[in-house]
Amino acid sequence: MMVKYTAPILVCCALLMLSTSVSANEGKIKIQMKDTKGRVVNGTAEARRGNLKRTCNTTAGTCTITGLSPGSWSVSGKSFGGLKDGPYNSTVTVGNVSLVELRVKVSNTPGPTGGTLAPARARPRPNDKPIHHDHSSDPNRGRSLAKGKIKKVVGTVRDKNNKVVNGVVMVRKGTATKGYAKTKDGVYQIHDLKPGTYTFTFQASRTKKRVKKVKVKKDSITVANFAL
């Protein structure tokens, strides 16, 4: 009996090893879909590269496209109401998650043409702590670049064990401080920067600090990941 089933077992193991090797050389793109008023919208997101096409349907405005080979992918989205945004270029790297935020136009007509909106958040009760948004200015960091009209840079921050790290990304051009953005779940976004070369500094503590030069282009989103 053992001799009879040796060959199938070896074939099964070989296929398992091949599958593991392929997934180790792939990356992901996380999609966030909202309307122009910042409300969550559900729909279908699509990533294309040449003849390759991958899709995912958002839940609560978010979905992740997996199994992507490294390189530049074109990302677009369409709400279930038929409203579109994109395409945008996103660079996929092995083992990392690239973030793309899609913004569809707000429809004046409620219902299917407006897409599927997630339920509105409940108003805070009197005893609830106030929510501090990341939009305010900080005299030591400049203004917040986490949100704005045009997204120019996205990136992730991970340590040597590939775990996400949260902190603050400072943006400078020469000696001038342009602003900052805080990471959430290891992901940050920078908006409204003019084309040029900037100095990005990520810092989570006195011991966790990285500096890199980032080139911002006119008509594309730059991916700038930090590895600690």
Domains of the chain in sequence order? 26-117 (2.60.40.1120), 151-227 (2.60.40.10)
Residue 224 pLDDT: 93
Residue 116 pLDDT: 45
pTM of the model: 0.41
Q: Which amino acid is at 163?
A: K
How far is the CA of 6 from the CAs of 15, 19, 28, in angstroms?
Answer: 15, 20, 37
Paired sense of beta strands 151-158 and 222-223, if any: parallel
Residue 93 pLDDT: 85
Q: Which amino acid is at 110?
A: P
Statement: residue 164 has pLDDT above 80: yes
* Cβ atoms 76, 84 nearer than 8 A: yes
Condensed to tens digits (0 to 9), the pLDDT of residues 7-51 reads 443 333 333 333 333 356 788 899 888 887 888 888 899 999 888
Could you tell me which residue, 226 or 208, shows the higher pLDDT?
226
**Rounded to whole angstroms, how far apart are CA atoms 118 and 41?**
7
Residue 226 pLDDT: 92
